[in-house]
Amino acid sequence: MDKHGYSSPIAEEFAQEMVRRNKVDRIVAMAPVGILLFLVALLSIVADGFFTGYNIQTILGQLSIPLVMSMGLTFVILLAGTDLSGEGLGGFVGSIVILMVLNTKTDLDMGLWAILIAVAAGLVVGIISGVIHVYGKMPSFIVTYAMSSIMAGFAVLSYRGQPAMSKYEFFITLSRGRFLGIPSLTWIALAIFAISYVLQERTRFGEYVFAIGDNERVAKNTGININRIKILVFAWSGLCIGVAGVLGAIRIGRGEVVIGKDTVFPAITAVVVGGTPLTGGRGGVVHSLVGALIVTIIYNGLILLGVSTYIQAAIQGVIIITAVALSVKRGRKVVTK
């Protein structure tokens, strides 16, 4: 019934349709949480020692790097882009941070400044990727894929084949430290999550990212400086990769290019499984937190079940294809490249 007192069947139908769609959307949004709970229940039954205090602490520790990586990636994927540079860039940042603190290879002993410089390096490389992507009009995945190769080269170049070991007390304390039973590195990751949440929910930047991801042309016509936002998103992603690289270096206590290896794929899986589709515009960092938990729990569970580490990557591959295939729009008119 509208204000004129007669009912308009079309409007009513439309309203009903919207209510129905909202309901479906809400159920779909909750699906990852359901999967997470199901996995926890399943693994508690199947895997010995899964639901123990010790293993939960282990899971939280394993969560830190995928969570940080996925926080940056979420914004990129919200724009319908991709950042594949984590493998090389994470390795590079991890390598140089160890070279700059007290270590076995160089005389540099810059302490906390080293962390700052290393993370800034990640940020700068992110900006470079963003600029090349935006002004060169080149697809983001190939720019960042090439960037990953370049930075992996620079990583090995920085330590010239022989990785440096960390002798920095603070890193050792951090890698072993706990607060309220949660590993310190996980607290850092949670801090990054909190910042991402504020960026997404409380800033103009976050709004614009959703607007661009939803429809770039419309966003452009409303006067949003698309190029600036896109570059900022890649900068944020670079910064997150930088933090992840530093966390990786702290964890293994060695500055080596392998720090970045096999970090990008879990992060993409986390974002997509959490419910941010590769076509962008929907989802967000809270979804990615759930996704990161799912990815970490699967990883942890498979190890407890004694599954070969070689198969882990294959299983992630199957998960990611399934998740993407379930989330994409189909139909004859859809163009996917």
Site residues, other proteins (CB under 8 A):
79-82, 84, 132-133, 136-143, 145-150, 152-157, 161, 216-217, 265, 268, 272, 278, 280, 308, 310-314, 316-318, 320-321, 324-325, 328-330, 332-337
Could you tell me the smallest distance in angstroms from the CB atom of residue 327 to other proteins? 10
**Which residue type, as a one-letter code, is found at position 218?**
V
Three-point CA angle 68, 72, 76, nearest 5°: 155
Both tokens of 243, joined, read 């933090």
Could you tell me the smallest distance in angstroms from the CB atom of residue 288 to other proteins? 16
Query: Which of 110, 146 has the CB closer to other proteins?
Result: 146
Could you tell me the smallest distance in angstroms from the CB atom of residue 298 to other proteins? 14
Both tokens of 261, joined, read 């290896």
The DSSP element (H or E) to which 270 belongs, if any, is: helix 264-274
Query: Which of 49, 317 has the CB closer to other proteins?
Result: 317
Task: Please report, for residues 56, 59, 182, 296, the alpha-carbon distance to residue 53 in angstroms, rounded to integers and kept in the order given.
Answer: 5, 10, 11, 16
Could you tell me the smallest distance in angstroms from the CB atom of residue 146 to other proteins? 4
Query: Which of 15, 313 has the CB closer to other proteins?
Result: 313
Query: Which of 11, 305 has the CB closer to other proteins?
Result: 305
Q: Are 129 and 144 in contact (CB under 8 A)?
A: yes
Could you tell me the smallest distance in angstroms from the CB atom of residue 275 to other proteins? 15
Closest CA relative to residue 272, chosen from 324, 207, 209, 325:
324
CB atoms inside a 10 Å sphere around CB 146: 16
Query: Which of 156, 258 has the CB closer to other proteins?
Result: 156
**Which residue type, as a one-letter code, is found at position 95?**
S
User: What's the N-to-C CA distance of the chain in angstroms?
Assistant: 45
Both tokens of 30, joined, read 């909750």
Query: Which of 119, 212 has the CB closer to other proteins?
Result: 212
Query: Which of 159, 168 has the CB closer to other proteins?
Result: 159
Could you tell me the smallest distance in angstroms from the CB atom of residue 329 to other proteins? 8
Q: Within 13 Å and on the Cβ side, how many CA atoms surround 103? A: 27
Count of residues for the chain? 337
Query: Which of 27, 142 has the CB closer to other proteins?
Result: 142
Could you tell me the smallest distance in angstroms from the CB atom of residue 286 to other proteins? 22
Distance from C-alpha of 85 to C-alpha of 124, rounded to nearest angstrom: 13
Q: Cβ-count burial of 336 within 10 angstroms (0-12 exposed, 13-18 middle, 19+ buried)?
A: exposed
Could you tell me the smallest distance in angstroms from the CB atom of residue 328 to other proteins? 5
